């Protein structure tokens, strides 16, 4: 196995201005990935946390010193930091992905900086990555990096993990650069999120915006398979557990306890951010005290807020409002001997944080939106006495794992006030039972396992070299040579998506002059047999191509017209089944705006290319399921093509239809097609045939061409050879 290269906005260490000293960053990510990074030859690519201007002339020293820690710096100027980090990352993506659309700005300069900086991260990564290495990109600052690295190193394994929520399609689509962001992410082999909801939202967006569906989390189409999956991040459970039991922390807990006397302690810990729901939380505490005067003087809320993004207007404004509200609550409810809210606006050392966790009777973790929220898990890990109650927002990713918490809707202030009361008055046995279950979960799903699971899934991804190879260079030379040398050549060409691009309605894909000329020239050569193998009906093929000297296969092999011959059916005709199926398809047409039914002699096709992607994404699987029983009863086959479900009776497919040409010996056989029905054709061909998948997605074909334009270019070259 190769090395693992982690790529994140920040390195796990921060440089000082001399570029010689480094302070470790202690966030959850740094600890979680420490084991990955420490093991063997790994590298970590990121920003050393200090603007390039301050390090001018010392870059070499920084680079060398960081190399000793297996770290590779990406230097960012203060302008880069302002526009890429403070700008696009934190004023566009952060608010939008947390559903704060009112705070999101759409600034083109910020976007340009984001692209530029993502390019730089990709270049730095590509410079050190080798075939066999695994690249693991972290978080919303670097969403373009997977595709940018892929463009430079097609064979490397790339993973991406998003630490914040992925919003629903209706919110994501507000982003002017939504397409670029998705394409950036799809450069990865595996895209990870904290919860299944986020995975679902991401797949919805990929389908609606890029038109690429998915089967059980595997995104369809594209050059390589891409998988989206949930990997809920955990914490370093043992580290918190050990710290909570350490003598120094015990002493600190004793001091806190002595200080608050027999009052209950409610704890709240966040980075100061509008997503955290601090104002609503304060309002709930206020209401709780108003409605429950008996609790006055008997409870203290410790509000720990870590300063963050202090230069951004919204954050300064929020800080002012929190200060005011804390003052108001303390003024209104407090007494000479009791301050309801102990307010700390700073960061505290790790041991002190752990002591606060352990001392707290209740943790109030009520963000309006949070990707995961590690504070909730850390609180659980620190309850070494098996006591304590967690009140948790249902909008934190953690809520999906910690179902024994008291779950609240942070917008429902009275509901939160009630939950505070419930938490304070919960019987000891119930508290212990709930905490025991949560602790078991947190202990069993640590951050180390999170990283290991993600990397194991990434390693299990199908190696890209088993997919069709791009047809170019050497391949083209051999193909041309074999064609030139062959006395008898057989060419199977699918029509829609292969020779012409898809049209919104089936009638819109008529062959143009260039195509007809091209086919005529190929057919003219006495050594060639050209067969158009299509899903279309006979009449259309006759009208469009009937005058050329071609063989035609219609309706996926149900009809064959040899050169100069007449149409002949390959299966017996019995249309009785249609009367049963048609009403079902019609019902789904009425329920799916834009969908329509095409009737062919042996089949009925339900097309949804023009349908609203969101609706068809719901309806197509529903219809497929509804057809299943009917198909079993009437002995029908349901085929899935590109944006079409087709029902047919009898056994016929493109591969069976092609068999009639095998009697003759051929020196050159080529088949090109773009959808699933062409896979039957590819599978039926003898070894040595040139099979070409047109467009993205997995295929049995040996080669791949991007689209109809490239197919035509290939055919034109062959036609010129004579």
Please select the residue that binds ligand GDG; options are 306, 424, 486, 638, rule is CB under 6 A: 306
Q: Is 233 in the site for ligand GDG (CB under 6 A)?
A: yes
Mention every residue, 6+ apart, whose C-beta is less than 8 A from residue 343: 303, 305, 326
Angle (deg, nearest 10), helices 708-721 and 473-485:
40
Scanning 261-390, the segments in alpha helix (DSSP H) are 278-291, 313-333, 350-359, 374-381
Q: Report the residue number, 292 or 347, with the smaller CB distance to ligand GDG.
A: 347
Q: Encoding tokens for residue 376?
A: 């909730």
Cα–Cα distance between 360 and 342 in angstroms, integer? 13
Q: Encoding tokens for residue 321?
A: 């409002």
Q: Report the residue number, 58 or 239, with the smaller CB distance to ligand GDG.
A: 239
Q: Is 164 in the site for ligand GDG (CB under 6 A)?
A: yes
Mention every residue, 6+ apart, whose C-beta is less than 8 A from residue 475: 469, 703
Please select the residue that binds ligand GDG; options are 13, 171, 284, 374, rule is CB under 6 A: 374
Q: Report the residue number, 94 or 114, with the smaller CB distance to ligand GDG.
A: 94
The stretch among 366-374, 409-417, 496-504, 566-574 that binds ligand GDG (CB under 6 A) is 366-374
Contact between 90 and 309 (Cβ < 8 Å): yes
Cα–Cα distance between 86 and 78 in angstroms, integer? 10
Burial class (CB in 10 A: 0-12, 13-18, 19+), 396: buried
Q: Report the residue number, 450 or 682, with the smaller CB distance to ligand GDG.
A: 450
Q: Report the residue number, 271 or 610, with the smaller CB distance to ligand GDG.
A: 271
Q: Report the residue number, 375 or 692, with the smaller CB distance to ligand GDG.
A: 375
Whose CA is closest to 448, among 245, 241, 237?
237
Residues 613-642 that bind ligand GDG (CB under 6 A): none
Q: Is 173 in the site for ligand GDG (CB under 6 A)?
A: no
Q: Is 271 in the site for ligand GDG (CB under 6 A)?
A: yes
The distance of closest approach from Cβ of residue 22 to ligand GDG in the complex, given in angstroms and rounded to an integer, is 18
Q: Is 672 in the site for ligand GDG (CB under 6 A)?
A: no
The distance of closest approach from Cβ of residue 348 to ligand GDG in the complex, given in angstroms and rounded to an integer, is 4
Residues 320-349 that bind ligand GDG (CB under 6 A): 347-348
Q: Is 307 in the site for ligand GDG (CB under 6 A)?
A: no
Cα–Cα distance between 173 and 707 in angstroms, integer? 27
Q: Report the residue number, 139 or 183, with the smaller CB distance to ligand GDG.
A: 139
Contact between 139 and 191 (Cβ < 8 Å): no
Q: Is 371 in the site for ligand GDG (CB under 6 A)?
A: yes
Q: Encoding tokens for residue 592?
A: 């799916």
Q: Is 355 in the site for ligand GDG (CB under 6 A)?
A: no
Q: Is 409 in the site for ligand GDG (CB under 6 A)?
A: no
SS3 679: helix
The distance of closest approach from Cβ of residue 304 to ligand GDG in the complex, given in angstroms and rounded to an integer, is 6
Scanning 24-141, the segments in alpha helix (DSSP H) are 28-38, 59-67, 78-80, 94-97, 108-128
Cα–Cα distance between 534 and 275 in angstroms, integer? 54
Residues 13-72 that bind ligand GDG (CB under 6 A): 27-28
Contact between 121 and 11 (Cβ < 8 Å): no
The distance of closest approach from Cβ of residue 265 to ligand GDG in the complex, given in angstroms and rounded to an integer, is 16
DSSP character for 70? Answer: T
Q: Is 269 in the site for ligand GDG (CB under 6 A)?
A: yes
Q: Is 163 in the site for ligand GDG (CB under 6 A)?
A: yes
Known catalytic residues? 494
Burial class (CB in 10 A: 0-12, 13-18, 19+), 659: exposed
The stretch among 76-84, 367-375, 407-415, 526-534 that binds ligand GDG (CB under 6 A) is 367-375
Pairing state between β 559-561 and 551-554: antiparallel
Q: Is 533 in the site for ligand GDG (CB under 6 A)?
A: no
Cα–Cα distance between 21 and 225 in angstroms, integer? 43
The distance of closest approach from Cβ of residue 380 to ligand GDG in the complex, given in angstroms and rounded to an integer, is 12
Q: Encoding tokens for residue 164?
A: 């914040």
Q: Report the residue number, 285 or 395, with the smaller CB distance to ligand GDG.
A: 395
Please tell me the count of residues contacting ligand GDG according to CB under 6 A.
20
CB atoms inside a 10 Å sphere around CB 408: 29
Q: Is 350 in the site for ligand GDG (CB under 6 A)?
A: yes
Beta bridge partners of 137: 7, 160
Whose CA is closest to 374, among 49, 9, 26, 6?
26
Q: Is 96 in the site for ligand GDG (CB under 6 A)?
A: no
The distance of closest approach from Cβ of residue 373 to ligand GDG in the complex, given in angstroms and rounded to an integer, is 5
Q: Is 263 in the site for ligand GDG (CB under 6 A)?
A: no
The distance of closest approach from Cβ of residue 191 to ligand GDG in the complex, given in angstroms and rounded to an integer, is 14
469-486 in b/e burial notation, b at 16+ Cβ within 10 A? eebeeeeeeebeebbeee
The distance of closest approach from Cβ of residue 101 to ligand GDG in the complex, given in angstroms and rounded to an integer, is 18
Pairing state between β 636-641 and 528-533: unpaired
The stretch among 205-213, 373-381, 387-395, 585-593 that binds ligand GDG (CB under 6 A) is 373-381
User: What mask, x for binding ligand GDG by CB under 6 A, covers residues 114 to 153?
Assistant: ----------------------------------------
Question: Which residues in this chain contact ligand GDG in the complex, by CB under 6 A?
Answer: 27-28, 163-164, 233, 269, 271, 304, 306, 347-348, 350, 353, 370-375, 378
């Amino acid at each position: 196995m190769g090395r693992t290269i982690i790529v994140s906005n920040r390195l796990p260490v921060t440089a000082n201005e001399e570029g010689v000293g480094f302070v470790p960053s202690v966030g959850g990510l740094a600890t979680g990935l420490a084991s990955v990074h420490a093991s063997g030859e790994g590298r970590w690519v990121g920003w050393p946390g200090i603007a390039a201007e301050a390090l001018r002339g010392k870059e070499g020293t920084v680079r060398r010193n960081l190399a000793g820690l297996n770290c590779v710096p990406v230097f960012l100027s203060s302008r880069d930091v302002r526009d890429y980090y403070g700008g696009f990352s934190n004023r566009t993506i952060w608010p939008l992905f947390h559903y704060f659309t009112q705070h999101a700005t759409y600034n083109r300069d910020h976007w340009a900086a984001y692209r530029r900086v993502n390019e730089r991260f990709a270049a730095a990564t590509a410079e050190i990555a080798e075939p066999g290495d695994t690249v693991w990109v972290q978080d919303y600052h670097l969403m373009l990096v997977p595709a940018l690295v892929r463009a430079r190193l097609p064979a490397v394994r790339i993973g991406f993990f998003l630490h914040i929520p992925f919003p629903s399609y209706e919110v994501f689509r507000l982003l002017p650069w939504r397409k670029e962001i998705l394409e950036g992410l799809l450069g990865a082999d595996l895209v990870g999120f904290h919860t299944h909801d986020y995975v679902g939202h991401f797949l919805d967006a990929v389908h609606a915006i890029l038109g690429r569906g998915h089967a059980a989390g595997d995104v369809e189409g594209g050059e390589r398979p891409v998988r989206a999956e949930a990997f809920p991040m955990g914490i370093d459970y043992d580290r918190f557990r050990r710290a909570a039991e350490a003598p120094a922390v015990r002493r600190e807990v004793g001091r806190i306890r002595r200080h608050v006397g027999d009052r209950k302690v409610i704890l709240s810990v966040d980075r100061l951010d509008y997503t955290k729901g601090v104002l609503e939380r304060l309002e709930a505490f206020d209401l709780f005290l108003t409605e429950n005067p008996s609790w006055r003087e008997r409870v203290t809320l410790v509000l720990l807020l870590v300063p963050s993004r202090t230069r951004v207007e919204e954050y300064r404004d929020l800080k002012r409002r929190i200060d005011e509200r804390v003052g108001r609550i303390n003024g209104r409810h407090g007494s000479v001997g009791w301050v309801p809210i102990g307010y700390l606006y700073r960061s505290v050392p790790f041991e002190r944080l752990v002591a606060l966790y352990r001392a707290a009777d209740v943790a109030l973790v009520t963000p309006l939106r949070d990707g995961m929220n590690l504070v909730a898990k850390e609180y659980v890990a620190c309850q070494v006495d098996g006591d304590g109650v967690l009140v948790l927002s249902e909008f934190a990713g953690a809520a999906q794992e910690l179902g024994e918490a008291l779950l609240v809707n942070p917008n429902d202030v009275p509901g939160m006030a009630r939950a505070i009361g419930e938490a304070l008055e919960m019987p000891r046995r119930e508290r212990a039972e709930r905490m025991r279950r949560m602790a078991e979960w947190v202990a069993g799903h640590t951050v180390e396992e999170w990283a290991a699971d993600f990397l194991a899934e990434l390693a299990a991804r199908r190696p890209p070299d088993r997919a069709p190879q791009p047809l170019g260079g050497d391949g083209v030379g051999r193909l041309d040579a074999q064609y030139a040398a062959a006395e008898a050549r057989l060419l199977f060409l699918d029509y829609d998506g292969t020779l012409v691009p898809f049209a919104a309605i089936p009638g819109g894909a008529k062959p143009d002059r260039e195509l007809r000329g091209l086919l005529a020239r190929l057919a003219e050569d006495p050594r060639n047999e050209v067969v158009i193998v299509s899903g279309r009906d006979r009449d259309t093929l006759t009208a469009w191509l009937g005058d050329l000297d071609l063989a035609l296969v219609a309706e996926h092999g149900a009809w064959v017209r040899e050169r100069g011959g007449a149409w002949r059916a390959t299966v017996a005709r019995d249309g009785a089944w249609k009367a049963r199926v048609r009403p079902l398809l019609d019902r789904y047409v009425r329920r799916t705006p834009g969908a329509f039914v095409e009737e062919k002699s042996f089949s009925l096709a339900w097309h949804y290319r023009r349908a609203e992607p969101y609706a068809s994404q719901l309806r197509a699987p529903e219809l497929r399921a509804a057809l299943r029983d009917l198909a079993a009863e009437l002995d029908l086959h349901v085929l899935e093509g590109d944006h079409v479900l087709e029902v047919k009776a009898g056994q016929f497919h493109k591969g069976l239809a092609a068999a009639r040409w095998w009697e003759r010996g051929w020196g050159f056989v080529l088949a090109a097609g773009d959808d699933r029905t062409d896979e039957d054709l590819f599978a039926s061909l003898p070894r040595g045939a040139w099979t070409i998948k047109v467009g993205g997605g997995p295929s049995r074909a040996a080669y791949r061409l991007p689209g109809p334009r490239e197919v035509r270019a290939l055919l034109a070259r062959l036609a010129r050879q004579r």
